[in-house]
Amino acid sequence: MIEFHLDGKVAIVTGASRGLGRAAAVALAEQGVKVLAASRSRSELEQLEAEFDGRIVACACDMLERESVAALPKTVLDEFGRLDIVVNNAGIAPAGAFLDQDEAEWDRVMAVNVTAPAVLARTAGRHFVDTGAGKIINIASTSGLLGKASLVSYSASKGALLQFTKALSAEWAAKGVQVNAIAPGAFETEAQKAVLESPEFLQRRLRKIPARRMGNASEMGPLVCYLASELSDFVTGSVFVMDGGESCKL
């Protein structure tokens, strides 16, 4: 059995109140990591905080507020005295025709999906570079690899996040900091609620996935833990696709 040896490490996970962010926070906490779980609404994290008493600490943070995002590393360092891992998971994906999208919505998507991860990476990165070690895990999307109609701004933002991951990994590799990305496809989360609640839509969606099912959020946990651990010290600038084979076919 592989041991991740994460006990005693400290992480920040954004968008941790639900879905893949929650799964990442839980997986890390189960490995002994102390997690600052950030979300717009602290109340949504209270159950998680109670379940992992002392290992998960809830923190209200709006990804649109740059100063709040930039302050997260200091909050962690003041609370736990160290910071080892950042999981940039928070994101928004408004659907609709590109011609109907106003500039304000485009700007919000870019602010949450690209700028906020960059701000957090920069402020956490100063600490990582000083200590000579650190892990940044960016949760992107297969839409950032291939693009998706009706999700133009989201696809563009996740594509930018993937290139940010690669460029930053090249810049910080010699400093002992690893930067990687995970590109999920369709997972059984609230983001897929409309599809999951419609048998017709669900079957149509599953026919596009060679595995003929959606992913379970908990399946991402082991990969997050691997990328957060010293086992991945020689892995940087990589994009790990988790989509049941959907992006591998015509």
Number of domains composing the chain = 1
What is the pairing mode between strands 56-60 and 85-88?
unpaired
Q: What is the CATH number of the domain that holds 94?
A: 3.40.50.720
**Identified catalytic residue from 128, 154, 172, 187:** 154
Angle, helix 66-80 to helix 116-131, in steps of 10 degrees: 30
DSSP state, residue 176: T
CA dihedral 131, 133, 137, 138 (to 10 degrees): 50
Residue 23 lies in a domain: yes
Residue 35 lies in a domain: yes
Residue 1 lies in a domain: no
Residue 148 lies in a domain: yes
The closest alpha carbon to 20, from 116, 91, 73, belongs to 91
Task: Determine the structural domain holding residue 88 and report its residue range.
Answer: 10-191+218-241
Residue 136's beta-bridge partner residues?
86, 179
pLDDT tens digit at each of 250 positions of the chain: 689 999 999 999 999 999 999 999 999 999 999 999 999 988 889 889 999 988 999 999 999 999 999 999 999 999 999 999 999 999 999 999 999 999 999 999 999 999 999 999 999 999 999 999 999 999 999 999 999 999 999 999 999 999 999 999 999 999 999 999 999 999 987 777 777 777 788 888 889 999 999 999 999 999 999 999 999 999 999 999 999 999 998 7
Cβ contact 92:108 at 8 Å: yes
Residue 224 lies in a domain: yes
Does the predicted model carry a pTM greater than 0.85?
A: yes
Residue 84 lies in a domain: yes
Q: Is 226 a catalytic residue?
A: no
Which tokens is 94 given?
Answer: 């408004």
